[in-house]
């Protein structure tokens, strides 16, 4: 939850963005608290792939540099002459610009000086980031100047643009992401931040696949710029005021207003402070169109917040001497292998939860064909798969790797049970019962009993503000990777967990459920996520308006959640929602407002929420108009039938009363269509759980790609 990351859905991003539903992604990884303004370059690694990019709006395309006169061309030649050769960095390196601005560049990257700034390339030389200091009175002027100075011509169409004033110490912040031909699979984006008469411009160019590998490091470079005189509000020296009386009334009113504005069907929220639950309440209903209310005891799926509880399970086993954090995976699972024998031998129990192994993200396996997978299959998930970055080098999130670690812990705790039952039993015995979380479970069948919320998602057909009720069974996609996101819990139970995090392993009753040493071990940063944020073992540490934060977000196909504690302030919150169509904005707004009320911070939650809604709705409409169009008859005729992929199973395409559809086995979706100017023909899922995800229609094949994944379907 870094101040410039905007912890967005990692389940995942915004509407129209395929990632949003793609598996318990860590929302803190791809963006941060809305209070800290979205800078899309931090989350583009995922968003660029499907065409649903991370910011919103349109703007006139800057004039082409081809119109420059001879004098400008001469200046360009002179600037080129001043450039140095790229040099590889063997260690993280701090650089100071002419203005005194500083930033750190990750080890392994390439660096060179350019006229007016610096240029960086990733270790594989597939991404280039150019940072310039410009004398420019506005970000609009800086856009034209940057492209001219670098001799770049922007693509003719803008995918998204954000422009905001007075953000995190900057006078003006803007970011533009241009549309590039789908066949090129590249990113072209410009980030601008202005203070006074000087603007810092960061141009990003390169392959989307490389961005998927290096997104965290890109965020570290782009968002890590430290400029003298630029500082956001610092609340670190303030003491949290007691949350009581009118303060709670104010928070409650804000929550309900935000929920209504965002059309969130139901939410359950709890605040903890000074060792007590000071607020817990349900808002709205368990299912849209029905009357059953949400209460603090209503069950929700918590998505990736499960990871932080799974590492509590491991901490419990370490406490009892049954396993160690540095126990090799091979010692517990001799059959374990990856496509890199050296890496296989190095991986430990801790590594399975650190998001630092270098193994590529593989979310499409969780979305398609999950019905055919069992927990035991997780142990073979990486056979033949090679890492795409080095061990400990950069953040790459992997639900499958987490599943291996969690299931191994379950096998140690409950050796005579099948993995699913072992994990559920171990979590109950070693986590839920000791912490007093009586309504929580890691069993899907148990979780769906009693007072439980129904999942909701979005679609690109509309109406925009009416979340779609999803069949609960669709959430079974988590079962093969249960330790990554299968837990059902309540606001009351999660509040108890938050209190245990704040008390370093002690329950509210004073019992040491988990040792302080092993609870805190989980928080130690194993890999950088951004300039001031790190990922530990299933949990992250970061900063929000100067406040130290321990946090994780969660998302499934139809739920978005957040657990956040402020360890130095003895304060925490839990937010559970039953929708992905607006859940990300909601949790950001509520977190922001809590900080403002508790610490007397600058009030911007309402403003940021309004801006976020505007951006989301603009982007939804663009997607709606672009890809929700009927599929042409000739495409229907060519595609109709059964197609099969080696990993993702079978897709069946057919015409239906409500349009052209695809049935993937576990669920089905209507389809939209677009033919790009470069001739690329793409079908788009327009319904949950992966609205916005494209499928490229080639001669004799259909290709589904996301990040570093690409899967080819052929007709049967």
Tell me how far apart the alpha carbons of residues 669 and 667 are, in angstroms, rounded to a whole number: 7
Which pairing describes strands 300-301 and 649-656: parallel, antiparallel, or unpaired?
unpaired
Q: Is 539 left (phi over 0), alpha (psi -120 to 50) or beta?
A: beta
Phi and psi torsions of 98, nearest 5°:
-60, -35
Q: What is the DSSP letter of 431?
A: I
Supply the pLDDT for residue 300.
Answer: 98
Supply the pLDDT for residue 585.
Answer: 96
Nearest one of 403, 396, 355, 357 to 380, comparing CA atoms = 403
Supply the pLDDT for residue 648.
Answer: 95
The domains of the chain are located at: 38-167+169-223, 245-614, 633-715
Q: What is the DSSP letter of 611?
A: H
Phi and psi torsions of 84, nearest 5°:
-100, 170
Q: How far is CA 155 from CA 123, 205, 246, in A?
A: 26, 12, 52
Tell me how far apart the alpha carbons of residues 193 and 173 are, in angstroms, rounded to a whole number: 5
Place of tokens 């979590």: 427
Report the chain (716 residues): mean pLDDT per 10 consecutive residues.
30 28 30 26 30 27 36 47 81 95 96 96 97 95 96 93 91 95 95 96 96 94 93 95 97 98 98 98 98 98 98 98 98 97 98 97 91 93 96 96 98 97 98 98 97 96 91 97 98 98 98 98 96 96 96 97 98 98 95 98 95 92 85 96 96 96 96 94 95 95 95 96
pTM of the predicted protein model: 0.90
Contact, 616 vs 17, CB < 8 A? no
Contact, 538 vs 402, CB < 8 A? yes
Supply the pLDDT for residue 84.
Answer: 76
Phi and psi torsions of 673, nearest 5°:
-150, 145
Which superfamily is assigned to 245-614 in CATH? DD-peptidase/beta-lactamase superfamily (3.40.710.10)
CATH class of 38-167+169-223: alpha beta
Q: What angle do CA 544, 550, 551 make, to 5 degrees?
A: 90
Supply the pLDDT for residue 452.
Answer: 98
Residues constituting the chain: 716
Residues 128-184 pLDDT 10s: 999 999 999 999 999 999 999 999 999 999 999 999 998 889 999 999 999 999 999
Nearest one of 507, 501, 496 to 567, comparing CA atoms = 501
Tell me how far apart the alpha carbons of residues 511 and 622 are, in angstroms, rounded to a whole number: 54
Contact residues for 297 (Cβ-Cβ < 8 A; gap 6+): 439, 451, 490, 491, 492
């Amino acid at each position: 939850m870094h101040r410039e990351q905007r912890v967005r859905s990692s389940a995942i991003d915004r509407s129209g963005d395929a990632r949003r539903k793609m598996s318990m992604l860590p929302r803190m990884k791809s963006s941060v608290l809305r209070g800290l303004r979205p800078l899309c370059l931090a989350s583009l690694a995922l968003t660029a792939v499907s065409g649903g990019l991370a910011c919103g709006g349109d703007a006139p395309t800057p004039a082409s540099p081809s119109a420059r006169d001879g004098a400008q061309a001469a200046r360009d030649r002179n600037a080129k002459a001043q450039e140095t050769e790229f040099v590889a960095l063997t260690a993280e390196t701090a650089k100071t610009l002419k203005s005194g601005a500083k930033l750190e560049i990750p080890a392994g990257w390439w660096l060179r000086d350019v006229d007016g700034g610096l240029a960086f390339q990733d270790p594989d030389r597939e991404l280039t980031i150019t940072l310039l200091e410009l004398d420019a009175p506005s970000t609009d002027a800086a856009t034209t100047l940057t492209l001219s100075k670098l001799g770049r011509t922007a693509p003719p169409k803008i995918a998204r643009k954000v422009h905001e004033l007075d953000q995190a110490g900057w006078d003006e912040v803007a970011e533009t992401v241009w549309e590039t031909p789908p066949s090129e699979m590249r990113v072209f984006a410009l980030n601008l931040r202005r203070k006074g008469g000087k603007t810092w411009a960061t141009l990003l160019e390169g392959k989307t696949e490389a961005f998927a590998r290096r997104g965290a490091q890109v965020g570290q470079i782009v968002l890590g710029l430290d400029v003298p005189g630029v500082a956001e509000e610092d609340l670190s020296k303030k003491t949290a005021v007691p949350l009581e009386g009118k303060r709670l009334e104010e928070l409650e009113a804000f929550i309900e207003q935000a929920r209504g504005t965002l059309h969130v069907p139901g939410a359950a929220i709890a605040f903890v402070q000074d060792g007590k639950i000071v607020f817990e309440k349900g808002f709205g209903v368990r299912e849209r169109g029905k009357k059953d209310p949400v209460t603090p005891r209503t069950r929700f799926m918590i998505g990736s917040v499960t990871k932080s509880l799974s590492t509590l399970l491991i901490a419990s086993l370490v406490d009892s001497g049954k396993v160690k954090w540095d126990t090799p995976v091979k010692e517990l699972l001799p059959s374990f292998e990856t496509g890199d024998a050296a890496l296989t031998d190095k991986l430990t129990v801790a590594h399975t939860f650190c998001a630092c192994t270098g193994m590529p993200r593989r979310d499409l396996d969780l979305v398609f064909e999950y019905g055919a997978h069992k927990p035991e299959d997780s142990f073979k998930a990486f056979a033949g798969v090679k890492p795409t970055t080095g061990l400990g080098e950069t953040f790459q999130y992997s639900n499958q790797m987490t599943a291996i670690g969690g299931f191994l812990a379950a096998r140690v705790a409950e050796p005579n049970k099948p993995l699913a039952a072992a994990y559920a039993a171990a979590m109950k015995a070693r986590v839920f019962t000791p912490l007093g979380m009586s309504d929580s479970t890691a069993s899907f069948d148990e979780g769906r009993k009693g007072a439980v919320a129904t999942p909701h998602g979005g679609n690109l057909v509309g109406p925009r503000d009416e979340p779609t009720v999803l069949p609960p069974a669709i959430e079974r996609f988590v079962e093969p990777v249960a330790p990554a996101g299968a837990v059902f819990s309540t606001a009351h139970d999660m509040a108890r967990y938050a209190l245990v995090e704040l008390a370093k392993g002690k329950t509210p009753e004073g019992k040491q459920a988990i040792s302080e040493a092993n609870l805190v071990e989980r928080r130690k940063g194993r890999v950088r996520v951004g300039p001031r944020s790190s990922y530990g073992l299933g949990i992250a540490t970061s900063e929000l308006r100067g406040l130290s934060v321990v946090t994780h977000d969660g998302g499934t196909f139809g739920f978005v959640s957040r657990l956040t504690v402020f360890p130095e302030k003895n304060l925490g919150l839990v937010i559970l929602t039953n929708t992905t169509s607006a859940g990300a904005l909601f949790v950001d707004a509520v977190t922001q407002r809590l900080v403002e009320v508790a610490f007397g911070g600058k009030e911007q939650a309402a403003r940021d929420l309004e801006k976020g809604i505007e951006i989301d709705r603009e982007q939804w409409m663009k997607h709606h108009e672009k890809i929700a169009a009927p599929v042409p008859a000739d495409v229907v005729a060519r595609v109709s039938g059964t197609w099969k992929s080696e990993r993702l199973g079978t897709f069946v395409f057919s015409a239906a009363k409500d349009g052209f559809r695809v049935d993937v086995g576990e669920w089905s979706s209507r389809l939209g269509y677009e033919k790009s100017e470069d001739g690329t023909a793409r079908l788009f899922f327009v319904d949950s759980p992966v609205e916005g995800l494209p499928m490229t229609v080639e001669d004799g094949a259909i290709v589904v790609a996301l990040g570093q994944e690409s899967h080819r379907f052929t007709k049967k």
